[in-house]
Chain A
């Protein structure tokens, strides 16, 4: 498996759980790298069930939103599914303002998200 600098990847059953290693996702070089690592989970490793766990994330910029949108499209075109969990209220508000909560499947916590894959 590829080594990652921006994410921590683990498996819960058939679900790939992705945790973000940066508390603040805003540095543009970091976001570029984050995108590459996320996309490789789909494009190289062909993972079909992705759960993005935001429990450690305090801040993210619109550039990071762009990567999440692109990832969501890649997952869908690969006939996979993606969910998100444990998003703090301020970031949830960002998703609501931008109406991204309509395209992302957002769950309260990891347990709820994993059971929603079944």
Chain B
């Protein structure tokens, strides 16, 4: 038996190891384990493709329907492009961190840039008549509409988006 702090550390170590096993390999046939990925993207145009292919594949593996995959793809793309272009302003000394979780019932994407942040409430509503023809400003609205939950941190340089899916019937 191990006692004291070592015992606590051992419990934590086992718990972590257990979680890793669960996330790395399927538990049972037909119920794929949760997929997690964290990646740092360079602040270059097109860098979203470094995560997007895997994300889309995992959504398919976890049984998400094509219409939801489209929605999550669009929201993730808009968030990452905003972080690269507006957040980090294409500064190659800065990175964009993307953390994804995909399970059969939840897709969560967190995107963090190293910019000064912005106030999402300051983005004007592009649906009002006089802004309908403005070429910019639709990304954040599409993210809000397509995802179940979207939250910015106070500084405005990190966005957390979630889409939930009700359990399959039958």
DSSP class of B's interface residues: helix, strand, loop or mixed? helix
- A77 CB to closest chain B CB (Å) equals 11
Q: Closest residue to A35 on the B side, CB-wise?
A: B135
List residues of chain B with CB within 8 A of the CB of A97.
141-142, 145
Q: Is the beta-carbon distance between B139 and A99 smaller than 8 angstroms?
A: no
Q: Closest residue to B125 on the A side, CB-wise?
A: A99
Within B66-111, the residues touching A (CB, 8 Å) are 66-67, 70-71, 73-74, 77-78, 81, 85
Contact surface of A with B, Cβ cutoff 8 Å: 26-29, 59, 61-63, 65-67, 69-70, 72-73, 89-90, 94, 97-100, 102-103
Contact among B45, B73, B135 with A66 in the assembled complex (CB-CB below 8 Å): B135
Q: Is the beta-carbon distance between A100 and B132 smaller than 8 angstroms?
A: yes
- Assuming the A-B contacts A28-B45, A28-B81, A98-B127, are A59 and B136 also in contact, with contact meaning beta carbons closer than 8 angstroms in the complex? no
Contact among A90, A98, A99 with B67 in the assembled complex (CB-CB below 8 Å): A90
- Assuming the A-B contacts A28-B45, A29-B46, A98-B142, are A61 and B135 also in contact, with contact meaning beta carbons closer than 8 angstroms in the complex? no
- Assuming the A-B contacts A73-B133, A103-B132, A103-B133, are A61 and B141 also in contact, with contact meaning beta carbons closer than 8 angstroms in the complex? no
- Assuming the A-B contacts A59-B73, A61-B77, are A99 and B127 also in contact, with contact meaning beta carbons closer than 8 angstroms in the complex? yes
> Residue B160 at the A interface, CB < 8 A?
no
Bound: A43/B67 CA distance, A = 37
- B20 CB to closest chain A CB (Å) equals 33
Bound: A69/B136 CA distance, A = 9
List residues of chain B with CB within 8 A of the CB of A99.
126-127, 132
Q: Closest residue to A99 on the B side, CB-wise?
A: B127
- A94 CB to closest chain B CB (Å) equals 7
- Assuming the A-B contacts A97-B141, A99-B127, are A69 and B135 also in contact, with contact meaning beta carbons closer than 8 angstroms in the complex? yes
Instruction: Please provide the 4 A-B residue pairs with the shortest distance between their CB atoms, ordered closest to farther.
Output: A66-B135, A62-B138, A90-B70, A28-B45
- A104 CB to closest chain B CB (Å) equals 10
> Residue B1 at the A interface, CB < 8 A?
no
Q: Closest residue to B78 on the A side, CB-wise?
A: A62
Taking each of A61, A73, A100, which has the highest tally of chain B beta carbons within 10 Å of its own beta carbon? A61
Bound: A70/B135 CA distance, A = 6
Q: Closest residue to A69 on the B side, CB-wise?
A: B135
- B149 CB to closest chain A CB (Å) equals 17
- B98 CB to closest chain A CB (Å) equals 16
Sample 7 A-B pairs with CB under 8 A, ordered by A number: A27-B45, A28-B45, A62-B142, A65-B138, A69-B135, A70-B135, A90-B66
Q: Is the beta-carbon distance between A61 and B133 smaller than 8 angstroms?
A: no
